[in-house]
A and B are shown apart, each in its own frame.
Chain A
Amino acid sequence: MPTPTIYGTMAEFKSAQQLLVAAQATHDAGYQKIDAYSPFPIEEMAEAIGFHKNRVALITLLGAITGGCLGYLMQYYIAVISYPTNVGGRPYHSWPSFIIVTFEMTILFGAISAVVGMIALNGLPMPYHPVFNVPEFVRASKDRFFLIVFATDPKYDPQATRQFLEALQPESIAEVPS
């Protein structure tokens, strides 16, 4: 059996506030590849772990624009090219009547891209995640708060990082095998 490589070092906290302070301190200490787990969303957390960019908005916008264009072109194709019908003597290309479907398609594609984009950017579905190798971690969905420093962080050092996290006074601390 090969010796398991290290995924990171994880510290357990009792409250959201403690986690927030610890995450901020870790980020301030120069660690970049860190993450936090909590049973409920903590509004300030993204800021604290230095997570600024979120590409879901961009994906949603692109999806929405694509949907809008598709919706309009679809109607144009139907009404002008494929099956032109004279409705009350109006031009075949009567844009006002196209707007509603265009709008609906914009919303539909925007919403679908937001959901799919969010899932994809989160790396889901993910049948295996190393953090669950730590037995205490099950409480992350109940009443405990976790902070992890990934081994891929340039500043990561099993000993030094452990010492650093210990200084933050966690409930427990564990090395996460990958």
Chain B
Amino acid sequence: MTTTPRLPHAPEIDLTAPPIIRTIGQRALIVGVIGTVVALYIAFTNPTVFFRGYLVSYMDWLGICLGSLAIVMVRHMTGGKWGTVIRRILGASMRTLPLMALLFIPLVFAAKRLYPWAMPIDSIADPIIREHLQKHTFILRDYLNLNAFVVRAIIYFGIWFILQTALSRLSARHNSPPVSDTSASSKRISAPGLILYALTVSFAVIDWVMSLDPSWVSTIYGLIFVAGQLITALAFAIVIERVLFNYRPMNVLLRPSFVHDHGNLMLAFIMVWAYFSFSQFLIMWAGNLPDEITWYFRRLHHGWEYVGLFLVLFHFFIPFFLLLFRPNKRDVRRLVWIAAWMLVAHYVEIFWHIEPSFSQSFTVTLADLVIPFAMGGLWVAYFCRNLSSQPLIPAYDATAQDILEPAHE
């Protein structure tokens, strides 16, 4: 790796995003707008069902946005050509944070429909939760109340915004000459950033998902979501890199060894997810205490057990097995199928985390099927706009020079 910047030359290849990205953005916007119309119809006819689906979708798309931020920070800490080649994709996806912040606002107004702690205590249907909140009054007084919920959300988004803008600004310097090296500054942001990321996501997940059942506590819960966010963020980036691979400049820049790294990272994230999820399960299963096991009891009966089994097989075993084989990791045209699959499987995971809190037996509502497309359509449109606004590679970054040189293979 060179430390001295090379002579500031214009890159020989055009690094702007191909027009296909704009087309995808336009189509996504259409899907998003149609989806939003349908979703609004659901919202006015059956708001409770609407907000359940809304929360599932929200956690899913937020995961891609924040997971991208995390992978960008990991890349700044470790370096590596695998990251240089996708960091603008990840960057475009983390810059959708304003949309996610905006989409959070409805959840504040819907809190009393979703969260038992926001409801009048006598109207909580689940006797275990009601008794738990009556017995431990400090929960509502000190932590789980709407004011604290909003204040904490502002803190989370504030931290994410600071990290995201700081990194995006540094990266934007590399759009024009001269060649500069900002890796030291990026490291200074990313090192504390990764710690803050893990903590804020953990706390946010406690507030937004775990508090659906305030009587239940799991300390590893936030980390399960962290692993899930890394999976979906990387999977989304792989899908986009596959689309870009059909066009210049990515068809010359994306080499099998980079794709191999993306595949290996995907394998690692899936294993981490399985490790966290299984650890939580094993400890609660072994303890078999009413406070803990009720969460699984709900999720492993009345039809939900099949969703759980689906996750074990399709969120872990099958992708894990497929990712053991080198050819599946080295060719982006193959890896993309696993990545696209993980996006679906992960949505099912979040669905399985959230929906059983509302329904004893397995149900899928129209909201669960429509809102991911409504929200996703808008999100992808925003993403495509972000991706088109900058070159696909930070060409004037000193650490990006080696991937811009012609391959000597």
Query: Within 8 Å of chain A (Cβ to Cβ): is B176?
Result: no
How many residues in A have their beta carbons less than 8 Å from beta carbons of B? 9
Contacts of A88 in B (CB 8 A): 288
Bound form: Cα–Cα A96–B293 in Å = 14
Q: How many A-B residue pairs have CB under 8 A?
A: 14
Q: Is the CB of A96 within 8 A of B409?
A: no
Q: Residues of B contacting A90 with CB < 8 Å?
A: 288
5 A-B contacts (beta carbon < 8 Å):
A96-B282, A96-B285, A97-B282, A99-B278, A100-B282
Please tell me if the beta carbons of A57 and B326 are within 8 angstroms of each other in the complex. yes
Give residues in A with beta carbon < 8 Å to B: 44, 57, 61, 88, 90, 96-97, 99-100
**Apart from the given pairs A44-B409, A61-B324, A96-B285, 11 other A-B contacts in the complex at a CB distance below 8 Å:** A57-B326, A88-B288, A90-B288, A96-B281, A96-B282, A96-B286, A97-B282, A97-B286, A99-B278, A99-B282, A100-B282
Give bound CA distance, A85 to B285, whole Å: 17
Smallest beta-carbon distance B142→chain A, Å: 34
Cα of A100 to Cα of B326 in the assembled complex, Å? 26
Q: How far is the CA of A86 from the CA of B286 in the complex (A)?
A: 13
Instruction: State the Cβ distance, A44 to closest chain B Cβ, in Å.
Output: 6
Q: Report how far A96 CA is from B285 CA in the complex, Å.
A: 8
Given the complex, which residues of A lie within 8 Å of B278, measured CB to CB?
99
For chain B residues 276-295, which have a beta carbon within 8 Å of chain A?
A: 278, 281-282, 285-286, 288
Residues of A with C-beta under 8 A to B285: 96
Nearest CB of B to A63, in Å: 13
Distance of A88 Cα from B288 Cα, bound (Å): 9
**C-alpha gap A19/B98 in the complex (Å):** 54
B358-409 interface (Cβ within 8 A of A): 409
Q: How far is the CA of A4 from the CA of B282 in the complex (A)?
A: 66
Distance, CA A90 to CA B286, complexed state (A): 9
- Taking the closest CB of chain A, its distance from the CB of B288, in whole angstroms, is 6
A52 CB → nearest B CB, Å: 11
A43 → chain B closest CB, angstroms: 8
Q: Which residue of A lies closest to B326 (CB)?
A: A57
Q: Which residues of B contact A100 (CB under 8 A)?
A: 282
Distance (Å) between the CB of A173 and the closest chain B CB?
26
Chain A, Cβ-Cβ closest to B285: A96
Residues of B within 8 A of A97 (CB): 282, 286
B309 to chain A, nearest CB (A): 13
Question: A54: nearest residue on chain B (CB-CB)?
Answer: B326
The 6 closest A-B pairs by CB, nearest first: A96-B285, A96-B282, A44-B409, A88-B288, A97-B286, A99-B278
> Contacts of B282 on A, CB cut-off 8 Å?
96-97, 99-100
A89 to chain B: closest residue by CB: B288
Report the Cα distance A30→B285, complex, angstroms. 62
B286: A residues at CB distance < 8 A: 96-97
CA distance A57 to B285 in the complex (A): 35
Residues of B within 8 A of A99 (CB): 278, 282
Min Cβ gap B34→A in Å is: 44
Q: Taking the nearest CB of chain B, how far is it from the CB of A6, in angstroms?
A: 34
Q: Report the minimum CB–CB distance from B295 to chain A (whole Å).
A: 15
Who on chain A is nearest to B282 by CB?
A96
B324 to chain A: closest residue by CB: A61
Whole-angstrom distance between the alpha carbons of A37 and B341 in the complex?
43
